Structure 1
Amino acid sequence: MALGGDVSATRVADSEAFAALLLQAGLVSAEALAFARQVKQRTGAHIDEVLISQGLLDTESLLLAEAQAWGVHPIDLDAVAFDENLIRRAPGQVYIAENWMPIRRSTNGSIIVATARGVAPERVARIQRVLKETDLQFVATTSWGIKNSCLRLFRSEIADEAANELWRQNPRMSARITFSRSQKIGLILTALALLVSAIVWPIETAIVTLTVMSLVFLAGTSFKFIVAMRGARYDVVERVSSAQVDALVERELPRYTVLVPVFREANIVGQLIRNLGGIDYPTEKLEVLILIEEEDHETRDAVLTSNPPPHFRIVTIPKGHPQTKPRACNVGLFFATGEYLVIYDAEDTPDPDQLKKAVVAFRRGGSETVCVQASLNYFNDRENALTRMFTLEYSYWFDYMLAGLDLGDLPIPLGGTSNHFRTSALIELGGWDPYNVTEDADLGIRASALGYRVGVINSTTMEEANTSIPNFVRQRSRWIKGYMQTTLVHARQPVALIRQIGLRRFLSFVLLIAGTPATFLGVIPFYVVTVFTIFLPVDTLGQLFPVWLLWLTLLNFVVGNVIMIYLSMMGPYKRGTFHLMLWALLNPLYWLLHSIAAYKGLWQLITKPHYWEKTEHGLTTHVQHN
């Protein structure tokens, strides 16, 4: 992936002569130009960027003015025929990064080149070197005209790179292959051994299996309890005060890219435009890329109907496999121009100052900080029992669990949204794995393996909690399947992973990433054995299972649920949502839903590992108050 930027490009449009041209041509008013100059002085942005981002100048008028300033003709790239052989003299990344691209040969043999950044001599010389041609004829276009043309002309290459670049670079780190050859052999041999044992020694096999599951369950829940309690004891979240945010100099703020992958979200894109429009960041330094799948015409039409601000852009995701959120994000990364980048879901409402807090946190953390994670919570927590449990879970996870992992310098599995990245480091990591359905958790482990740090900041993004059980099971089965995928990927080279991240971090990875699915898979068997233990005479069960095993499963049932009820009750303390506390008593039923989702996820891991189970949004009857 190449970072498509225009920071160092020659800008004729930044000159006072160009400003005067805009005024003389009647394209902007004197008041608008004075405003643009003030913003330029404050933020350092170019005059044309200010005018465009504020809706004071449209791109077509800017194109005409730039063409006149450069002494060339304007051109609409959507209406021209490209020479396919000529266009492939350089990669699409070069054209996007440098804001030019060849079109075709003219009748006199010169190459027609579209430029969005002028025709300065050093720029012309650079283009001549790339094309290995000296006779060039320039025409003017816009940056987005070039980007859209590259997306159209290189669509197959972009789709392939977005899906398979990580796999090509490091196939062992990609979930494209679900089970490696050694894992297949090991699992087949284990399954055969269990089958033979179950036939020959059925009782003994059941005892050993339950014992192992019990110990894994106890280890997983105990680990979460210890880490969360450390996070509660030490407030290690990266605290950024309002004073520090106010002290930021807008001229020194970096360019920021917001990626918003949407798929069949036509019902909430209006809300999306409003929510992201509330971000407190200079619009001339902010680009919002709405990533829409090629065939999703309904969502595209809804976005256009919502009349988004000029700094919102639609990026069409070419058809390809797998059709997943991380693949769409990789395409967005291809076009991102920001020094920093954040992911938001369609229903997200981030704190207005979240981007500025992230900038402060990155500057504090230094180059080793690749990502800062904001907290997630829900605006419809009072809607029903499920939304209340959802909110309790997220409150404990983001306020205590992630803080405990950060304190212990342990790998942090990222959330699917509100992750703020250094764009260059994200590219170094290979972007997201499109074949992993919890690409966020996988990326957190890969970042740790390369020595990067993931931090947590004191900012919250409000989301819509699941309101229906079927929708919840679909979502959680995908998350749990993704944890299984991530476990399989990083278990291919366990010794190498230990060398990279250390034994302590490796054990944390095993207990959290591998332990979470194992814990949920154990819930239903433990509940069944516990019910029999409570309601059947001990003598009857004692003929099948040893008493110590019955006590162990009962201990798991009691201790596991007590731990999670206690952790869930802790969540409301930091946020003051005390009305949720008693709902934590429903955790045994909530975990039962997780167990059902875990078995569904396990089945899909075998039958369709890369299938992205769609979570429906916009189902709530509650209205968010900003």
Structure 2
Amino acid sequence: MTTEHTPPPQAAPADALTGRPLDLTRPRRRLGDYLIDANLLTQEQLQDVLARQQKWHSRLGDVILASRLMSALQFYTELAHHYELNFVNLMEHHPDETLFEAQHIQDYLRHLVLPWRRQGDALVLAVADPDQDALDWVHDHYGDNVLFVGTGKFDIIWTLQEIGDEQLTDHALGALANLKPEQSARTVITKGQIVALCLMVLVIIIGMVIAPSKTLMILGILMSLIFLISFGLKFLLAWQGSRHRIDVKVTDEDVAALSDKELPIYTILVPMYKEPEVLPILVNALRNLDYPQSRLDIKLVLEADDTDTIDAAKQMGLESTFEIIRVPPSMPRTKPKACNYALQFARGELLTIYDAEDKPEPDQLKRVIAAFRKSPNNVACIQARLNYYNADENWLTRMFTLEYTLWFDFYLPALEHLRIPIPLGGTSNHFLIDVLREVQAWDPYNVTEDADLGVRLTQLDWRVGVVNSTTFEEANVSVTNWIRQRSRWLKGYMQTYLVHMRNPIKFYRMTGGPGFWGFQFFVGGTVLTPLLVPFTLIPYVVWLCTRTTMFDDLFPPFVMYTNLFTLLIGNGFFIYLTLLASFKRRYYRLAPYALTVPAYWLLQTIAAFKGLWQLISKPFYWEKTTHGISKQTEIEREAALDNQTPRTP
């Protein structure tokens, strides 16, 4: 219904900061017509927005902002005037911090309202999006003696980050560590584990003093058993993975059957640090998602001192779908801490994480929703497949691609089928956000946070599914960069193993026999086998090159031949599996590179020792992987910049 237009208040400058009553029942002209009169929309643009609003089943303002038809400042200024409120820029006119109540941060965020100042005996609140729900909360909490000024959504968010940074940071760091300290890596190793380790070392030392040959023989046999059991588990996983699928098959018809009106708000976290050069790739990919833009809640999670990336994001003219979450400096500076911080601002029912250089397929979010609807109620996470857009760039990227193929096509299905705790990957995991909050999200002290989260979910009987959608990202092209990344992953596996083996009996009861032993040799074996490689490889290489007899007393023939057998059968097995992975995905061009697997796993040994050293010297240090160094990434960046469309004036 068209009603009489109420013009914006023409207050004198002295009155520009005064609060006013807010009456939502007063008849007003439609917002779209109001914006046309303000010369911010044309009639044609309004018709297009109304059509999208009907299709997306979203509020008009959300559609306007998602369509990049005007800046957020312009929109929220006019929205305030539409409700006869003065508009206040909170960046220039800061709230009275004594009015701030830290325990109500989530209420402020949910209603986009914030206590601003006192005006006489009345409390003035800044509100970005006046609606009845926000007004009811204000009156319930503050009573009726309240006035209002208008402000912008981003003003509320940024002000809360500034005023509430201590509380928000404390929650991001301490939610898991304080509520469930036994599941947090904040304590690197417990006293009981130190005692057990010292006793083990003491036994070895005593054995070497009393009976060195027998001690070395026993150690050699134990090493061989560890290798053989680890290889045997990988063989079992490959066999089971080839026979069982956990993929939730989502067809194009399933995606087409989803109505935009029924789609939930979807939160996307993009943690970044000093990566302005790859930002256009992700922004372009997210803009191309086949999902109502007004129902996306995208958080660019940036460190507050990363001014280069923050400035690059601001200069891109991002629509209001994108929000910059500035994480205050605190230790440890890790990706999970940043994600925990941003999670407090999340509005979605579902949540996923993308890395800065990721390119998810356009219909991935819809496929995930369809997959959840087809899955049992205890599925808490749907994993999209990962692949690389620069797989053929060099030897390292080819090996990386084959390794990930082996993981997604064989290991992951088998782990889920056998109910062995799954170490999730770090990107394109799609979570039910209520479950994520229930388990206290990520451990900020664990540098392989999703691996740890996957183990915790399995213990609580939550399951993981895989959807037939792919996220393409940049494979590591540099050996030094690869070692930095892999050493962090392996250090995180060490942290995860130590955390969940604090109470082995309890862990056994929660995961069962297959889960317990699978965890020992899949997670524990992943870090232990590369650390043991030098002790089996070096004596054999020295003997092979020199035919020396110096090892005869130290390593009896039985031990030498056992280690040699383990070495050969292990490498042969991984070559076979890698070949299998290349054939499964029809990567025939990559098949010859399977023969170089031993060299690839030698790099793993280097990374493992580096990770062990960092676990001892700086356990919470996040060794950053440098992105954007691939030649293909520059091509992707140029293509993304070419696809940028300017905001409609």
Partner residue in 2 for 1:78: 91
Partner residue in 2 for 1:44: 57
Please tell me whether the aligned partners of residues 529 and 553 of structure 1 are also in contact (alpha carbons under 8 angstroms): no
Q: CA offsets, 1:531-566, max 9 Å, x none?
A: 256456597644332322222211211111111111
Q: Following the alignment from structure 1 to structure 2, what is the Cα–Cα distance between the partners of residues 174 and 346?
A: 27
Q: Following the alignment from structure 1 to structure 2, what is the Cα–Cα distance between the partners of residues 14 and 171?
A: 55
Q: Is 1:351 the counterpart of 2:361 in the alignment? A: yes
Please tell me whether the aligned partners of residues 273 and 309 of structure 2 are also in contact (alpha carbons under 8 angstroms): yes
C-alpha displacement at 1:116, in angstroms? 2.4
Q: Is 1:285 the counterpart of 2:305 in the alignment? A: no
Alignment of 1:414-493 (within 5 A): 414-493=424-503
Q: Where does the alignment leave 5 or more consecutive residues of structure 1 unmatched? A: 1-9
Q: Following the alignment from structure 1 to structure 2, what is the Cα–Cα distance between the partners of residues 563 and 11?
A: 71
Amino acid at match of 2:473: E
Measured at CA, do residues 169 and 359 of structure 1 come closer, stay the same or move farther in structure 2, by a change above 3 Å?
A: same
Partner residue in 1 for 2:646: none
Q: Is 1:59 the counterpart of 2:34 in the alignment? A: no
Question: What TM-score, normalized by structure 1, do the two folds share?
Answer: 0.93
Partner residue in 2 for 1:271: 281
C-alpha displacement at 1:277, in angstroms? 2.5
C-alpha displacement at 1:77, in angstroms? 1.5
Q: CA offsets, 1:470-529, max 9 Å, x none?
A: 111111111111001000000012222222222221222112111110111122222123
Query: Among residues 229, 233, 236, which one is paired with 2:239 in the alignment?
Result: 229
Q: Is 1:338 the counterpart of 2:348 in the alignment? A: yes
Measured at CA, do residues 126 and 504 of structure 1 come closer, stay the same or move farther in structure 2, by a change above 3 Å?
A: same
Partner residue in 1 for 2:17: none
Partner residue in 2 for 1:128: 139
Measured at CA, do residues 556 and 434 of structure 1 come closer, stay the same or move farther in structure 2, by a change above 3 Å?
A: same
C-alpha displacement at 1:119, in angstroms? 5.7
Please tell me whether the aligned partners of residues 246 and 465 of structure 2 are also in contact (alpha carbons under 8 angstroms): no
Q: Following the alignment from structure 2 to structure 1, what is the Cα–Cα distance between the partners of residues 299 and 329?
A: 18
C-alpha displacement at 1:303, in angstroms? 2.2
Partner residue in 2 for 1:113: 125
3-state SS of the aligned residue for 1:411? Answer: coil
Question: What TM-score, normalized by structure 2, do the two folds share?
Answer: 0.90
Amino acid at match of 1:456: V
Measured at CA, do residues 540 and 67 of structure 1 come closer, stay the same or move farther in structure 2, by a change above 3 Å?
A: closer
Q: Following the alignment from structure 1 to structure 2, what is the Cα–Cα distance between the partners of residues 119 and 604?
A: 52
Q: Following the alignment from structure 1 to structure 2, what is the Cα–Cα distance between the partners of residues 327 and 65?
A: 37
Partner residue in 1 for 2:161: 151
Q: Is 1:17 the counterpart of 2:30 in the alignment? A: yes
Partner residue in 2 for 1:556: 566
Please tell me whether the aligned partners of residues 13 and 47 of structure 1 are also in contact (alpha carbons under 8 angstroms): no
Please tell me whether the aligned partners of residues 13 and 19 of structure 1 are also in contact (alpha carbons under 8 angstroms): no
C-alpha displacement at 1:191, in angstroms? 2.4
Measured at CA, do residues 16 and 38 of structure 1 come closer, stay the same or move farther in structure 2, by a change above 3 Å?
A: farther
Q: Following the alignment from structure 1 to structure 2, what is the Cα–Cα distance between the partners of residues 432 and 295?
A: 23
Query: Among residues 387, 401, 414, which one is paired with 1:391 in the alignment?
Result: 401
3-state SS of the aligned residue for 1:267? Answer: helix
Measured at CA, do residues 209 and 123 of structure 1 come closer, stay the same or move farther in structure 2, by a change above 3 Å?
A: same
Q: CA offsets, 1:407-426, max 9 Å, x none?
A: 32332211011111111111
Measured at CA, do residues 16 and 552 of structure 1 come closer, stay the same or move farther in structure 2, by a change above 3 Å?
A: farther
C-alpha displacement at 1:430, in angstroms? 0.4
3-state SS of the aligned residue for 2:344? Answer: helix
Partner residue in 2 for 1:101: 114
Structural RMSD (CA): 2.2
Query: Among residues 493, 501, 516, which one is paired with 1:506 in the alignment?
Result: 516
3-state SS of the aligned residue for 1:588? Answer: helix
Query: Among residues 578, 586, 589, which one is paired with 1:568 in the alignment?
Result: 578
Please tell me whether the aligned partners of residues 270 and 302 of structure 1 are also in contact (alpha carbons under 8 angstroms): no
Measured at CA, do residues 565 and 142 of structure 1 come closer, stay the same or move farther in structure 2, by a change above 3 Å?
A: same
Please tell me whether the aligned partners of residues 376 and 462 of structure 1 are also in contact (alpha carbons under 8 angstroms): yes
Q: CA offsets, 1:237-273, max 9 Å, x none?
A: 2211112111111111111111111111122222232
Partner residue in 2 for 1:329: 339
3-state SS of the aligned residue for 1:73? Answer: coil
Partner residue in 2 for 1:305: 315
Q: Where does the alignment leave 5 or more consecutive residues of structure 2 unmatched? A: 1-22, 640-649
Alignment of 1:355-366 (within 5 A): 355-366=365-376
Q: Following the alignment from structure 1 to structure 2, what is the Cα–Cα distance between the partners of residues 306 and 399?
A: 38
Q: Following the alignment from structure 1 to structure 2, what is the Cα–Cα distance between the partners of residues 408 and 119?
A: 50
C-alpha displacement at 1:16, in angstroms? 7.4
Q: Following the alignment from structure 1 to structure 2, what is the Cα–Cα distance between the partners of residues 266 and 58?
A: 22
Amino acid at match of 1:525: F
C-alpha displacement at 1:585, in angstroms? 0.6
Q: Following the alignment from structure 2 to structure 1, what is the Cα–Cα distance between the partners of residues 98 and 582?
A: 62
Q: Following the alignment from structure 2 to structure 1, what is the Cα–Cα distance between the partners of residues 487 and 102?
A: 45
Query: Among residues 601, 608, 617, which one is paired with 2:611 in the alignment?
Result: 601
